[in-house]
Structure 1
Amino acid sequence: MKFFVDVILPLPIPGVFTYSLDEADSNNIQVGCRVIVPFGKKKYYTAIVFSIHHVMPQEYEVKPVFTILDKYPILLPSQLQFWEWISDYYISALGDVFKAALPSGLKLESETMVELNMDYIGSPDLSEKELRVLHLLSDDPIQCITKIAKDSGIDNILPIANSLLERGAILLREELKEQYRPRMESRIRFTKEYNHPDKVENLFELLSNAPKQLDIVIKYVELSSLLNQKEIKEVSKHRLLEGARASSSSLNGLIQKGILEEYDIEIGRLRVENIQEQDLHPLDKSQQKAYQEIEEVFDTKQVCLLYGVTSSGKTEIYIHFIEEYLNSGKQILYLLPEIALTTQITERLKRVFGDKLGIYHSKFSDAERVEIWRKQLSSNPYQIILGVRSSIFLPFQNLGLVIVDEEHETTYKQQDPAPRYHARDAVIVLAHMCGAKVLLGTATPSIESWYNAQYGKFGLVELKERYKDIQLPEVIPIDIQELKRKKRMSGQFSPPLLAMMREALDKNEQIILFQNRRGFAPVVECKTCGWVPKCTNCDVSLTYHKKLNQLTCHYCGYTYQLPDVCPACEAKDLTHRGFGTEKVEDEIKLIFPNISVGRMDLDTTRTKTRYEKIISDFQEGRTKILIGTQMVSKGLDFDHVSVVGILNADTMLNYPDFRAYERAYQLMAQVSGRAGRKNKRGRVILQTRSMDHPIILQVINNRYEDMVQNQLEERQVFHYPPYYRLIYVYLKHRDEKKLDFMARTMASQLRTVFGSRVLGPDKPPVGRIQTFYIKKIVLKIERDVSTQQTKKALLNIKERMLADKRFKSLIVYYDVDPM
C-alpha cells in the first residue's frame, strides 16, 4: 500500500503539501517528525509531518520525501493543534507559524553550496561516505552539492551533509544551513592496553625520560580517579593540559605512542548551577486572602485576573502557586513581557526552585534554544519555564499552570513578521487545550481583561495593599509650561525634581528617570531654512545619537553621518529638537558629575550580558541614577529607589491611537510604582504641560477604575474593543500611485461584504517603511458575527486581489486584534 505524508513547509503559503513515502520508511516516521523535501526545481526544505495517509493527490505529481531527520517527533500533538489555531485565528499560513515557533537550529533549508570548515579537528568515527565527501572538499573547499553527489557516487547526499553539519565538519552556504551544532568537548582517556591501575607503574618507568609526558599521565590519573578504584571520571583535554601545564605537542606524543587517545563528546550549553534552595516566604494576611480567592476562582473558571497594586507581592503569590502545581506533578509556564525582567525574577525563582527552572528568550543563542527544546521533549524536562512571548511554542508534556505577569503589556503582541499573535490571548487557548489554569497579573489591567473579568468570563481577585502596608508613592505634578515660560527649567529638569534628587542622593538613595524615547534628539533642524534630515527608506525624521555621532532611522536602521553644514542652504546653524534618553544622560552627568549614572534602552541592552549588568549595577547600588525608556516601568523591583521622575508625560498622551490614554495611564502608573517599594513612601515628579488633563489627574489620584470607565464609554460609542473586534488590513507597494489605486479597489471589495464596518483606506502615522508605501484599512466587527465566516471572506478577497495581474507585486496582510 502506498504511503503519503502531508507536511508543513516554512514558507508563507497556505495549506500543507503532500509527498510520497517509501513503504520501508513508513514504520520510521511519525506525525511531528522533521523530513527533508524538495520544493520547486532545486530547493530543499525541512518540513514537519502533519499527517500520514494513503490518499494520492489527483491535481499534481507527487514528489518523494528526500530523507527523514528524526527518529522521534520534535512536536507534540498539542503543539500541532495549537499551530492550527494560531494560523486560523490570526489569518496566517501554517508555514509562518512554523518559522516563528521552531528555533532556527532545527530548520535545514537547502541550496547548493557546501564549504569545508577549516576549523574542524576531525573525528575517529566518520563513515566511509562522510570521509569520501571530506576528501572531495579537501581539493576544492567550496563546491556545489550536486557536483559532490555526482563525484562521490552518493545518491542521497543530504543525510550525509546533515551528519557532517552536526559534527561541524562542513558549512552549507546561503539557505542550506544547519544552524544548530551540538557543543562538543575533546576528552582524553587511556587506551584499552593501559586502562588499569596495574599498568600505571609501568608507564612511570617508561616515561621517566619524557618528564612533560609523564606530568600529563600523572595529572590524568589524578583527575580520572583511576588509582582510587572509584568510577573513572571523564577528563577534558583543556583541563588536563592546563592542570599538567603541558603543551598539545606533548599530549600528541602520548597519543602517537598508543598510551592515550582523544575522543569528542557532546556537552550541553545549558548552565547547571548549584544554588542552595530556600524555603518559600510565608504570605502576609492580604496575600494569603488573595491566594485563597484565586484558588476558589480556579474551581469554576480557567482564567483569573489578579489586580494588585505595585509592590503588593504578586510575585510571591505566583511562587506559592508554582510550588502547589509542582507538587501535583504539573509543568508551569511563567510569561514576562520583557527579557530585561528575567534577570531579577530568575534569581528569585532559582533560590526557591533550583534546577527545575529553565529560561527561554531571544537573547539566548540559537543553539541554547535548541537544547532547551530538546530537553523539554526528554524524560527529564524543566518543570518551570520562565520566558517571553516565544516560549508559548515550547513543548509542554504536562502543562498545569500559566502565569502571565504584567498582562497589559503591548510587547506580548507580535508585530512583524507573521503570525501576528498576542501571547496572552494565545496562551489562554493553549492552556484550555492542555487543561491548565491561567493567572493574569498586573497593577494596571488591560481594558479587555478588566472587561472580561467584570462580565464573568474571567475571575477577578484584587490586592489593594502594598507589602508591609507601605503607602503608594506620592505623585507630584509639575507644570513645565509655566516653568519654561519663566525660564526656570535646567534642561529637561524642573527645580522640584532636582531638589528631590539631591535630597535622595544625600541619603544614599536611588533615582529613576523615565523618558519614553531613546537617542539624543528626535529631530535635527536647520534654523535658517528648516531642513530636517529624513530616512531615505521611510517617512520619518532621523534620530540623532550623540555617542555614535550619527543619525539613525529607528524603523529600518538606515544611518547618516551628521553634516557640519546644512545640505540645503549651507548654513552652520543646525540645532536639536526634542530629547531622548541619551540627552537626559548627558545633562544629568553635567548636573551630578560625581554620581554614577546608568541608561537602559534598546541601544544599551543589545545583548544578554549588557542588560544583566545594568540591572545588577543598579540593584547593588553601584549606579545611583537610572535613566530609561518603558523598559524601566515593567515590574523591576529595586529596594532603594525613593524618587521617580517622569520627564515629559505629554508625549504619551498625544499619540494618534484609540489606546493612547489607556497606555499613558499604564506607563505612568507602572513607572511610578518603582518608587518607595520597601522602606518608605516614594515620591514621583510628573512633569507635564497638561495639568488639567483627566489622565494626569487619574494617575495622581490612582484612579484606575475611573480611567477604565471613561474609556469604555468612549469605545462603546465609537465601536472599539472590547465591544467590537478590530482587524487591520495593510497593503504595501513601492509605487505610491499604484498603491492608492490598489487600496481603493480592495476597500471597495471589502465594503461589498462588510458594508459600513470598513474604514479607509488611510495612510498610517508612518506611511513608508523600508521603501514600501503603506495603506491601512480598518474593519470593526461586532462580537456576535462569526469569526470563521469573517476570516473566510477576508481570505477570498485577498486571493482575488492577488490573482489580478495588475496587483501582482502588491503585499497584503491582516492584523487581527491589533495593538
Structure 2
Amino acid sequence: MYIVKVLVEHPVHSLDTTFDYLSHEPLLKGIRVWIRFGYQKIIGYVESIEETVLSQEELEKQVGFHYQYIIDVIDEEPLLNEELQDLANQLSRMTLSPRISCLQAMLPTQLKPASHQAVGMKTQLCVEVIMDQSAKTVKQQECLSFLKKHPDIPLKEVPYSRALLKNLEKQGCIQIIEKEVYRQPFSMTHQAKHIQLTVQQQKVVDGILSHQGRVALLHGVTGSGKTEVYLTLAAHYLKNNQAVMMLVPEISLTPMMVEVFRERFGDQVAILHSRLSQGEKYDEYRRIKRQEVKIVVGARSAVFAPLENIGIIILDEEHDPSYKQESKPRYLTSQIAKIRAKTHHASVVLGSATPSLESYARALKGIYDLYELPDRINQKPLPHVEIVDMIQQTRQHNYSLFSIPMKQSIQTTIDKGEQVILLLNKRGYATYVQCQDCGEVLKCPHCDVTLTDHRSEHKLKCHYCEYMIDYPRVCPHCGSTHFKSIGYGTQKIEEEIEKLFHGAKVLRYDVDTTRQKNGHLKLLEKFRNKEANILLGTQMIAKGLDFEDVTFVGVLNADLSLNVPDFRASERTFQLLCQVSGRSGRGQKQGHVIIQTYNPDHYAITCAAKHDYVSFFHQEMKYRQVAKYPPYCHMVSILIQSKQEKWIHQVAMDVKNYLQTHSHQTIILGPAKSTIYKMQDIYRERILVKFLNSKDIYEALNNINDYYNKQQKGKVRIVCDFNPYSQI
C-alpha cells in the first residue's frame, strides 16, 4: 500500500498544502488523479508517494483521521518533466502563489489539474495496406496500387467507392483504422530563400554564439533586421540538435513570427498562444512534449513549453509589459527564461528597438552582453518625424481631432496610392456619456470607472469587468433624454476619417475587432492586399507590422500614455512612439511621421522624434535615481483587497506597521487608494515597497501572505506583486 500526497485543484492559499490519500498501486509523481475531497469529486496532482507496511486501520489510528483511496488515475506519465516540476515549486516561492496555480499556468486547459475538461484528441479513419498481394479485379488492383503510393491516407480522401474498399478489406489486403491527427493552427507555407546577413548582423550572431550561456541584449532600431538574426541563431542550434524558444509579446505578432519561422523551418515549428482553440493548444503541447518539434513560437506562457535540451531562448520586444503576468502567479517572462536557460546552459537573447531601462542598465554594467544594430537594412533612412503642438492648432481655431498638417499628410498619402497607419491608444467611441441637463456621468456599478461608449454596438461598456448596458434613453438621475458623448476612441476616429478624407478605406484594429479566432491575421491580410489604405488602431499596431507601402504614420494623442500616474509613463510613451514610427518607410519609399501632442517639449516625445534612445535613457535615469525607482531599486506592490470598505484601510495600516517593524533597508510608500479604488465590487488599497535585497523583505511578506490569505481567509485578501508593471 502507498501513501500519496496530493495537491488539490483549487488555487487558493488556504488549500496550498498536500492532502494524503491511499493507493494499492505505486503512482508516478506529477500525474493527475481523481479524488474525493469533502463532498466533491475533483482532480488532484500527485506531489509524492511513499510506501507503507501499515494497514489502513493502523495508519488511521496513528494519525487520527480517516484515509480515502485514490478513485482513478488520469495520466499514464507525468505532465511535466522534472525541470518544470522544480520550476513550479520555485515559481510558487518567488511569487508567493499557491503551487497548484503555478502548475495550472504551465499547462493547456485539457491538461490542467482542474475538473472542467474540454476537448480531447482528434482522430480520423485511415486506410492502411496490410498485405502485398493481387486483388481480384482490375479496378480493385488499381485502387490497391493507389493506396500503396499513399500510405495511411484518410478514408475521406480515397478516390474510390466504399464498396470497393470493403471488398479489399474482406480479402485482407487493407484495413481501415482510427488514427490520431493533429489540428493545424496555421496554414502550410513555402520554404523561404536564405537571406545573406549584413556585416552588422553577422557580427551580432558571431558574438552571441561565442558566448554560450550568457544573456544578450540586442538593441536594434526598427527595421534593422533583428528577425533575421533570430532565424540565423535558430538555424545554428537546430543544426546542433538543440531546441529553440521564440517568444513575442502580443498575440497579434505571433502569426507573423510563426509564418517567418515556418517558411524557414517547416514542420519543426509549434505555436502556443491563447487565441488557439482548446484542441489546437492540446495538440501543439503534445507535439512539443513528444519532441516532434524543435522550435516553439508563442506568447508569454510559451516560456513553460516542455522542450528538452534548449539551446537558446529569444524574447522579441523584450520591453513590452505583456511579458508580465498580471494574475497569479505574477511572473516576469524574462525572469523565467533566465531560470530555464541556466538549467539548460542556454543563451538568452532580449531584442528591442527600445529596451527597458532595467535591461539597458544591466547591459551597460556588463551583466548582459550588449549588441547594437544602429542602422536599417540596406541603409534605408529612418522616417522623418514631425511634432505638432495641438495648443497652437487650437489657437488657430482648429478644434478637430486632426491637426492641419495631419489632414494634409493623410490625404496626400491616399492620393499617391500609399498606405497610412494611425495610432490612438483608446478603444471604443467615446470616453464617457454625460447627461446635459444634470451633469450625471454614467459609471460602472461594480468598478470606480465611467462606462465607455461603444456606438457601433449601441452599448456602454466597462473595460475592467465587462459590465454592459444598452445606450440609455433617459438619465437615471433626472429623467432627461439629452446625452453627450465626451472624449474619443478608435470607433469615433473611424467615423471621422470616412467623413474627412476622400478615397479613405479604413480598417480598425483593436480588441473589439480582433476578438474572433484569427481576427488579427484576417485584418492584416486585408491591409496587405490593399483592401484598405488606412489602418487605425490601438497600441496593437505599434509593433512588428511590416508593410512596404506604409509611408505615413500618425499619432493622434501622444499624451494619453504620458499622463498615466505611473513612474514608467515616460518610458512607455517613448517606446510606443518609437515603435509606431518604425512602421513607416520600411519599403523603398521614405517614411513620414506626425506626432500630435499638448506636451511638445517633453523629453519622451522629443527623443522619440529623433529616434534617440540613448539620450532618453540618460534623461530618464536621472529622474529614476532621484526618486529611487527601478533600476536603482527593486519594487513590490502589496494590494489589499476586500468587499467590505470598512476593513480595508485599517488592514493596510497594519500591514505597513508590520513591514516597518520586520523589514530592513526598505522605503515604504502608502497605503493609498488604488488608481481604480473599486474594481469588480472589491475595494483596493496599495502599498509600494522599494528595496535593494529581497532578503530584507521576503520573510515579512511571506508572513503577511500566510496570515491574511490562509489564516484570516475571507475578510481581506493580500496580493504581493514583485516587479509590478501595473499601478491601476
TM-score strictly above 0.5: yes
Q: How does 1:651-666 map to 2 (within 5 A)?
A: 651-666=560-575
The separation in 2 between residues aligned to 1:650 and 1:445, in whole angstroms, is: 21
Contact map agreement 1:360 1:388 (CA 8 A) in 2:
yes
Q: Is 1:815–2:721 an aligned residue pair?
A: yes
State the partner residue of 2:284. 372
Give, as a single letter, the amino acid of the residue that structure 2 aligns with 1:363.
R
State the partner residue of 1:69. 74
The separation in 1 between residues aligned to 2:284 and 2:116, in whole angstroms, is: 20
State the partner residue of 1:160. none
The separation in 1 between residues aligned to 2:128 and 2:198, in whole angstroms, is: 57
Q: Structure 1 stretches of 5 or more lacking a match?
A: 110-175, 202-217
The alpha-carbon distance between structure 1 residues 542 and 187, as it changes in their structure 2 partners (threshold 3 A), is same
Give, as a single letter, the amino acid of the residue that structure 1 aligns with 2:386.
I
Contact map agreement 1:280 1:320 (CA 8 A) in 2:
no
Among 250, 260, 275, the alignment partner of 1:363 is 275
Q: Which moved more, 1:736-745 or 1:403-412?
A: 736-745
Among 342, 350, 356, the alignment partner of 1:432 is 342
State the partner residue of 1:781. 691
| Cα deviation, residue 619, structure 1 | 2.0
Among 324, 330, 334, the alignment partner of 1:420 is 330
* 3-state SS, counterpart of residue 226 of structure 1: helix
State the partner residue of 2:369. 459
State the partner residue of 1:694. 603
The separation in 2 between residues aligned to 1:266 and 1:181, in whole angstroms, is: 11
The separation in 1 between residues aligned to 2:298 and 2:275, in whole angstroms, is: 11
Identity across the alignment (%) = 33
Cα deviation digits, residues 106-155 of structure 1 (max 9, x gap): 1464xxxxxxxxxxxxxxxxxxxxxxxxxxxxxxxxxxxxxxxxxxxxxx
Q: Structure 2 stretches of 5 or more lacking a match?
A: 53-58
State the partner residue of 1:395. 306
| Cα deviation, residue 36, structure 1 | 2.5
Give, as a single letter, the amino acid of the residue that structure 1 aligns with 2:5.
D
Contact map agreement 2:385 2:595 (CA 8 A) in 1:
yes
Q: How does 1:87-102 map to 2 (within 5 A)?
A: 87-102=92-107
Cα deviation digits, residues 460-500 of structure 1 (max 9, x gap): 011101111111111101111221232224x3111111111
Q: How does 1:144-543 map to 2 (within 5 A)?
A: 176-186=115-125, 197-200=134-137, 225-227=143-145, 230=148, 233-234=151-152, 236=154, 238-239=156-157, 264-270=178-184, 275-296=189-210, 298-299=211-212, 302-378=214-290, 380-416=291-327, 418-489=328-399, 491-543=400-452
The alpha-carbon distance between structure 1 residues 256 and 371, as it changes in their structure 2 partners (threshold 3 A), is closer
Q: Which moved more, 1:599-608 or 1:515-524?
A: 599-608
RMSD: 2.9
* 3-state SS, counterpart of residue 386 of structure 2: strand
The separation in 1 between residues aligned to 2:610 and 2:183, in whole angstroms, is: 49
* 3-state SS, counterpart of residue 560 of structure 2: helix
The separation in 2 between residues aligned to 1:89 and 1:98, in whole angstroms, is: 14
The separation in 1 between residues aligned to 2:607 and 2:658, in whole angstroms, is: 43
Q: Which moved more, 1:536-545 or 1:570-579?
A: 570-579
The alpha-carbon distance between structure 1 residues 719 and 58, as it changes in their structure 2 partners (threshold 3 A), is farther
State the partner residue of 1:710. 619
Q: Which moved more, 1:512-521 or 1:340-349?
A: 340-349
Contact map agreement 1:10 1:98 (CA 8 A) in 2:
no
State the partner residue of 1:146. none
| Cα deviation, residue 528, structure 1 | 2.6
| Cα deviation, residue 453, structure 1 | 0.7
The separation in 2 between residues aligned to 1:719 and 1:617, in whole angstroms, is: 47
The separation in 2 between residues aligned to 1:199 and 1:363, in whole angstroms, is: 51
The separation in 1 between residues aligned to 2:110 and 2:709, in whole angstroms, is: 33
State the partner residue of 1:792. 699
The separation in 2 between residues aligned to 1:653 and 1:740, in whole angstroms, is: 29
State the partner residue of 1:617. 526
Give, as a single letter, the amino acid of the residue that structure 2 aligns with 1:800.
Y
* 3-state SS, counterpart of residue 78 of structure 2: coil
The separation in 2 between residues aligned to 1:177 and 1:419, in whole angstroms, is: 20
Q: Is 1:12–2:11 an aligned residue pair?
A: yes
State the partner residue of 2:651. 742
Contact map agreement 1:312 1:464 (CA 8 A) in 2:
yes
Contact map agreement 1:476 1:684 (CA 8 A) in 2:
yes
Q: Which moved more, 1:643-652 or 1:793-802?
A: 793-802
Contact map agreement 1:356 1:383 (CA 8 A) in 2:
yes
The separation in 1 between residues aligned to 2:112 and 2:477, in whole angstroms, is: 50
Give, as a single letter, the amino acid of the residue that structure 2 aligns with 1:727.
V
| Cα deviation, residue 294, structure 1 | 2.8
Among 667, 670, 673, the alignment partner of 2:582 is 673
The alpha-carbon distance between structure 1 residues 254 and 526, as it changes in their structure 2 partners (threshold 3 A), is farther
Give, as a single letter, the amino acid of the residue that structure 1 aligns with 2:227.
T
| Cα deviation, residue 403, structure 1 | 0.6
State the partner residue of 1:51. 48
* 3-state SS, counterpart of residue 483 of structure 1: helix
State the partner residue of 2:454. 545
State the partner residue of 1:36. 34
* 3-state SS, counterpart of residue 678 of structure 1: coil
The alpha-carbon distance between structure 1 residues 328 and 59, as it changes in their structure 2 partners (threshold 3 A), is farther
* 3-state SS, counterpart of residue 767 of structure 1: strand
Contact map agreement 1:91 1:816 (CA 8 A) in 2:
no
The separation in 1 between residues aligned to 2:30 and 2:407, in whole angstroms, is: 60
* 3-state SS, counterpart of residue 650 of structure 1: coil
The separation in 2 between residues aligned to 1:667 and 1:63, in whole angstroms, is: 56
Q: What is the TM-score normalised by the length of structure 1?
A: 0.82
The alpha-carbon distance between structure 1 residues 383 and 476, as it changes in their structure 2 partners (threshold 3 A), is same
The separation in 1 between residues aligned to 2:153 and 2:650, in whole angstroms, is: 70
State the partner residue of 1:123. none
The separation in 2 between residues aligned to 1:42 and 1:667, in whole angstroms, is: 49
Among 648, 655, 668, the alignment partner of 1:758 is 668
* 3-state SS, counterpart of residue 181 of structure 1: coil
| Cα deviation, residue 187, structure 1 | 5.2
| Cα deviation, residue 527, structure 1 | 2.6
The alpha-carbon distance between structure 1 residues 498 and 742, as it changes in their structure 2 partners (threshold 3 A), is same
Contact map agreement 2:128 2:151 (CA 8 A) in 1:
no
The separation in 1 between residues aligned to 2:539 and 2:390, in whole angstroms, is: 21
| Cα deviation, residue 390, structure 1 | 0.8
